[in-house]
A = this chain, B = another copy of it.
Amino acid sequence: MYTIGDTAKATDLPTKTVRYYADIGLVMPSGRSDSGYRLYSGREINKLIFIRRARSFGFSVQECRELLSLYEDQERSSRDVKAIALRRIAEIEKKLLELQSLHKELSYLAETCNGDNRPDCPIISGMSG
Protein backbone atom coordinates (compact mmCIF):
# COMPACT_ATOMS: atom_id res chain seq x y z
CA MET A 1 0.00 0.00 0.00
CA TYR A 2 1.30 3.42 -1.05
CA THR A 3 0.55 6.84 0.44
CA ILE A 4 -0.49 9.53 -2.00
CA GLY A 5 3.07 10.86 -2.30
CA ASP A 6 4.54 7.46 -3.13
CA THR A 7 1.68 6.90 -5.56
CA ALA A 8 2.45 10.21 -7.21
CA LYS A 9 6.08 9.19 -7.62
CA ALA A 10 5.21 5.73 -8.94
CA THR A 11 2.75 7.08 -11.50
CA ASP A 12 4.60 10.26 -12.44
CA LEU A 13 1.51 12.31 -11.67
CA PRO A 14 1.33 15.33 -9.33
CA THR A 15 -0.04 14.56 -5.86
CA LYS A 16 -2.74 17.14 -6.50
CA THR A 17 -3.90 15.27 -9.57
CA VAL A 18 -4.06 11.90 -7.82
CA ARG A 19 -6.23 13.53 -5.14
CA TYR A 20 -8.36 15.17 -7.82
CA TYR A 21 -8.93 11.83 -9.54
CA ALA A 22 -10.09 10.42 -6.22
CA ASP A 23 -12.45 13.39 -5.72
CA ILE A 24 -14.13 12.87 -9.08
CA GLY A 25 -14.31 9.11 -8.58
CA LEU A 26 -11.99 8.21 -11.44
CA VAL A 27 -9.51 6.23 -9.32
CA MET A 28 -10.40 5.76 -5.67
CA PRO A 29 -7.76 4.76 -3.13
CA SER A 30 -8.32 1.17 -2.06
CA GLY A 31 -8.53 2.37 1.53
CA ARG A 32 -7.56 4.90 4.19
CA SER A 33 -5.06 4.67 7.02
CA ASP A 34 -6.20 5.09 10.64
CA SER A 35 -5.29 8.73 10.41
CA GLY A 36 -7.20 9.24 7.18
CA TYR A 37 -4.35 9.04 4.66
CA ARG A 38 -5.33 7.71 1.25
CA LEU A 39 -3.79 4.31 0.53
CA TYR A 40 -3.29 2.95 -2.99
CA SER A 41 -2.56 -0.61 -4.13
CA GLY A 42 -0.66 -1.78 -7.21
CA ARG A 43 -3.92 -2.06 -9.08
CA GLU A 44 -4.70 1.62 -8.63
CA ILE A 45 -1.12 2.53 -9.51
CA ASN A 46 -1.53 0.71 -12.82
CA LYS A 47 -4.83 2.44 -13.52
CA LEU A 48 -3.26 5.82 -12.81
CA ILE A 49 -0.33 5.15 -15.14
CA PHE A 50 -2.77 4.09 -17.84
CA ILE A 51 -4.78 7.28 -17.31
CA ARG A 52 -1.71 9.51 -17.37
CA ARG A 53 -0.78 8.08 -20.74
CA ALA A 54 -4.26 8.32 -22.19
CA ARG A 55 -4.70 11.89 -20.90
CA SER A 56 -1.38 12.97 -22.35
CA PHE A 57 -2.71 11.99 -25.77
CA GLY A 58 -5.82 14.05 -25.51
CA PHE A 59 -8.31 11.50 -24.28
CA SER A 60 -10.73 13.27 -21.94
CA VAL A 61 -11.28 12.16 -18.37
CA GLN A 62 -14.67 10.88 -19.49
CA GLU A 63 -13.02 8.78 -22.19
CA CYS A 64 -10.52 7.46 -19.66
CA ARG A 65 -13.45 6.45 -17.49
CA GLU A 66 -14.87 4.56 -20.44
CA LEU A 67 -11.55 2.90 -21.22
CA LEU A 68 -11.15 1.80 -17.61
CA SER A 69 -14.69 0.47 -17.60
CA LEU A 70 -13.75 -1.78 -20.51
CA TYR A 71 -11.78 -3.78 -18.00
CA GLU A 72 -14.11 -3.45 -15.06
CA ASP A 73 -17.72 -3.44 -16.07
CA GLN A 74 -18.80 -7.04 -15.93
CA GLU A 75 -22.16 -6.14 -17.45
CA ARG A 76 -20.63 -4.87 -20.66
CA SER A 77 -20.52 -7.35 -23.53
CA SER A 78 -17.33 -8.36 -25.24
CA ARG A 79 -18.75 -6.98 -28.46
CA ASP A 80 -18.93 -3.51 -26.88
CA VAL A 81 -15.48 -3.82 -25.46
CA LYS A 82 -14.06 -4.70 -28.83
CA ALA A 83 -15.95 -1.94 -30.64
CA ILE A 84 -14.79 0.76 -28.25
CA ALA A 85 -11.23 -0.53 -28.20
CA LEU A 86 -11.07 -0.63 -31.99
CA ARG A 87 -12.37 2.92 -32.27
CA ARG A 88 -9.71 4.12 -29.86
CA ILE A 89 -7.03 2.15 -31.68
CA ALA A 90 -7.91 3.93 -34.92
CA GLU A 91 -7.55 7.28 -33.16
CA ILE A 92 -4.23 6.24 -31.71
CA GLU A 93 -2.92 5.21 -35.10
CA LYS A 94 -3.85 8.62 -36.48
CA LYS A 95 -2.07 10.26 -33.57
CA LEU A 96 1.00 8.12 -34.18
CA LEU A 97 1.21 9.37 -37.75
CA GLU A 98 0.81 12.98 -36.66
CA LEU A 99 3.36 12.60 -33.91
CA GLN A 100 5.85 11.13 -36.35
CA SER A 101 5.20 14.02 -38.69
CA LEU A 102 5.80 16.52 -35.88
CA HIS A 103 9.00 14.68 -35.02
CA LYS A 104 10.19 14.88 -38.59
CA GLU A 105 9.48 18.59 -38.83
CA LEU A 106 11.37 19.40 -35.65
CA SER A 107 14.28 17.14 -36.59
CA TYR A 108 14.56 18.90 -39.91
CA LEU A 109 14.52 22.23 -38.12
CA ALA A 110 17.22 21.15 -35.68
CA GLU A 111 19.40 19.85 -38.51
CA THR A 112 18.92 22.83 -40.76
CA CYS A 113 19.35 25.56 -38.19
CA ASN A 114 22.57 24.44 -36.60
CA GLY A 115 25.11 27.10 -37.50
CA ASP A 116 25.96 30.21 -35.59
CA ASN A 117 24.25 32.40 -38.08
CA ARG A 118 20.54 32.24 -38.42
CA PRO A 119 19.66 30.53 -41.68
CA ASP A 120 16.42 31.19 -43.42
CA CYS A 121 14.57 28.09 -42.22
CA PRO A 122 11.42 28.67 -44.23
CA ILE A 123 9.88 25.54 -42.82
CA ILE A 124 6.45 26.84 -42.01
CA SER A 125 5.46 26.70 -45.65
CA GLY A 126 6.08 22.97 -45.53
CA MET A 127 4.58 22.38 -42.11
CA SER A 128 1.14 21.31 -43.23
CA GLY A 129 2.22 18.05 -44.80
- Measured CB to CB, the residues of A under 8 A from B are 42-43, 45-47, 49-50, 53-54, 56-58, 67, 70-72, 74, 76-79, 81-82, 85-86, 88-89, 92-93, 95-96, 98-103, 105-107, 109-110, 113-119, 121, 123-128
CB of B57 within 8 A of CB of A102, answer yes
In the complex, residue of chain B having the shortest beta-carbon distance to the beta carbon of A88: B106
Which residues from B are CB-within-8-Å of A57?
Answer: 56-58, 95, 98-99, 102
Tell me the minimal C-beta distance from A115 to chain B in angstroms.
Answer: 5
Which residues from B are CB-within-8-Å of A89?
Answer: 103, 106-107, 110
CB of A92 within 8 A of CB of B82, answer no
Count this chain's copies in the assembly.
2
CB of B47 within 8 A of CB of A78, answer no
- 17 A-B pairs besides A43-B125, A46-B126 with CB distance below 8 A are A45-B128, A46-B125, A46-B127, A46-B128, A47-B127, A49-B128, A50-B127, A53-B102, A56-B57, A57-B102, A71-B124, A81-B110, A82-B110, A88-B106, A89-B110, A93-B103, A96-B103
